[in-house]
Amino acid sequence: MLIADVRVFRVEGVMEHDGEFWEERLVRPIDIYPEHKAEGAGWIEQIAPGKYRNIAHFVEIVADSGHIGIGGPMPHEQAYIVASQLKPLLIGHDPLATERIWDRMYRYMVHGRKGVAMMAMSVVDCALWDLKGRWADAPVYTLLGGPTRTSIPAYASMLGYSLDPELVQERAQAAVSEGYGAMKWFFRDGPVDGIAGAARNMRLVRTLRESVGPDVDIMLDAWMSWDVPYTIQMAARMEEYQPRWLEEPVLPDKIAQYAEIRRTVRIPISGGEHEYTRWGLKQLMDAGACDVLQPDIYWAGGISEMMKICALASAYDLPVIPHGHSVPATAHLIAAWPETTCPLLEYLVKWNEIHQFFLKHPLKPVHGMVVLPTRPGLSMELDEAKIEKRSEVSF
């Protein structure tokens, strides 16, 4: 069996949502500049009240046997790399030889060890695993050595929700009523916002704990936008509210600062969402920088590379709770590992309405649990009824 074709295509559809979809965004490193601090969350175009235009790119890898594998969604910059640089490395090669293909892509794209190029490689790798599962007529987790369980607990990741205290209370309590035993919220302020910003951040933490009680885990995400002194100060103030972790307090390349924070504070520190490959994550492990590792399966190298990252993490007794860009691929990966290595699945409540919009079989938590699908591959079939426009992309 050989790869006969690689098709990259763009799809458009209209997603319906009552009210404003993005109510708030998270703090960002670039917010130290006032013109960026004032920017809203412009991640999806609203075309009418309650209607949003959803645009995504997917890759379809076609074998000469007729088996296909689908990867995505991805933005146009990754689609460009797949169509213009990775496609020639795939045509005519064995799609089941995922290790060989990954290594060839990595060696060819040596200037893309991190960032957009590695993200594009990740999409291709996931598409190859989808194809391999369809060829074997088995869920991908079976090919990875699983399942270790039939369902996975998910936590609600509340990106995009208003930070108004009354709404925070309402949404947090609603998440608990839906069965979630843990949830993550995102700070909007950082060191440049001074005393008032610190007070708003603490208001969020306090409101969450008062809203959900002592038995629900809360996690807080600083999205790379704090610094060491600010994090140490804020962690001391947050300690009484017992967050399960504080996420990405500093920029990802500041590994020594991560380690300094972890040694100093008494709240667990998580990170690695914006790190890539086994080599990048091993740096965090060697430095003792994190209590929880969060690489993204669609960014850090795909399923092939995430299996290596998880194996390394298990040697360091560190849990891997992947960033939740792709729920289907992430669920299959987690299912292949014991709970001690991969205990939780992140479900980005709003983002995954977008990311799974075009899927025929979106994977969503029920009563706080994700039940493993039994369909072959990664369950990446597209719902043609959701696609209003489809065009093949070539560069």
Q: How far is Cα of residue 332 from the mean position of the Cα atoms in its chain? A: 14
User: Is residue 361 annotated as part of the catalytic site, yes or no?
Assistant: no
Cα distance between residue 37 and residue 189, in whole Å: 9
Token look-up 């610094």 returns: 227
Per the residue annotation, which of 57, 67, 274, 323 is the catalytic one?
323
Q: How far is Cα of residue 268 from the mean position of the Cα atoms in its chain? A: 20
The answer for residues whose C-beta is within 8 angstroms of residue 172's C-beta and 6 or more apart is 158, 183, 185, 207, 208, 211, 212
Residue 106 burial (C-beta neighbours within 10 Å; 0-12, 13-18, 19+) = middle
Cα distance between residue 43 and residue 56, in whole Å: 12
The answer for residues whose C-beta is within 8 angstroms of residue 317's C-beta and 6 or more apart is none
Token look-up 């590695």 returns: 118
Nearest to 272 by CA among 264, 261, 280, 262: 280
Encode burial over 41-55: b for 16+ CB neighbours within 10 A, e otherwise: eeebeeeeeeebebe
User: Is there a contact between 14 and 53 (Cβ–Cβ < 8 Å)?
Assistant: yes
The two tokens of residue 150 are 């039939």
Please list the active-site residues. Answer: 323
